[in-house]
Structure 1
């Protein structure tokens, strides 16, 4: 699996918005804070807005806010908004394609991997990424990642 720059930037935008929910943030401010190219960020934010993950307000007091609560936005929602399907094989969602033997078990593996990724990405929210509570879904992933050598 490959996490695209679009997904990485989208998650960083949403975490920034969730961390400072008291006021709207501008794309310029987020781009500078997160060191993301402004033009690229604008297209990512547009996709997030279309998906309802962010909302915008024009004017001198304008900017962007989360479109719904951070606890209601999963990483799977973010991937779907900016990149489409979470897991594909040759550009297609793994399905019962009828692989010939001896590769017939491979399609089962692809479907299982897709389900596991959907479970992980669907189980972690933007709020989890900001939470330091030991019981959060993200906390277990952070602990697991910390144990892996860089």
Structure 2
């Protein structure tokens, strides 16, 4: 599973709409502030409207504004609105994809991973994410996990990104960082 640039930018657009409250904000202002190519931001804007997450008004005083209750909309719903179902494998989403799926142990592993990811993303609302950022309890819990189960030799398995996290912004949900967009 890969969070696409489109999804990351969609989250930034939603954050900007959240910050503006009831005031309409232009997509060009958001694109400039969030370092999103304008044409790409306009394209994403259409997906967000289609998903019912924002509404737009044309004209000199137009722009976009949230069209949802951020306390009710989860990160999972945003990801699904932009890039479809969250899954790490096609064989989990489509049982006809692989004829071995019913007896495949890997398929069960992928199903478990999907449930974990979907549960994690579903546990974070937009409001909580935008207000709490990296201090959201679900994010802190995930970050505290830090180590995967040990392999048979007993050595811990690291996620491989701890050096990157130490040198960059430490927020787990990059688009909600209180310090601005991560790069």
TM-score category by the smaller chain?
0.7 to 0.9
Would you say the 8 A contact 1:95–1:111 is kept in 2?
no
Measure how far apart 1:5 and its partner are. Answer: 0.7
For residues 56-135 of structure 1, the aligned pairs below 5 Å read 56-90=56-90, 93=93, 95=95, 99=100, 104-132=104-132
Unaligned runs of 5+ in 1: none
Between structure 1 and structure 2, the one with the greater Rg is 2
Number of aligned positions between the proteins: 149
Measure how far apart 1:73 and its partner are. Answer: 1.9
Alignment correspondent of 2:19: 19
Unaligned runs of 5+ in 2: 147-160, 165-183
Q: Aligned partners of 1:79 and 1:132: how far apart in 2?
A: 19
Q: Aligned partners of 2:34 and 2:101: how far apart in 1?
A: 47
Q: Aligned partners of 2:13 and 2:142: how far apart in 1?
A: 20
Would you say the 8 A contact 2:74–2:122 is kept in 1?
yes
Measure how far apart 1:142 and its partner are. Answer: 7.9
TM-score by length of 1: 0.84
Q: Aligned partners of 2:133 and 2:48: how far apart in 1?
A: 27
Q: Aligned partners of 1:67 and 1:16: how far apart in 2?
A: 13
Measure how far apart 1:98 and its partner are. Answer: 6.0
Q: Aligned partners of 2:71 and 2:59: how far apart in 1?
A: 28
Alignment correspondent of 1:42: 42
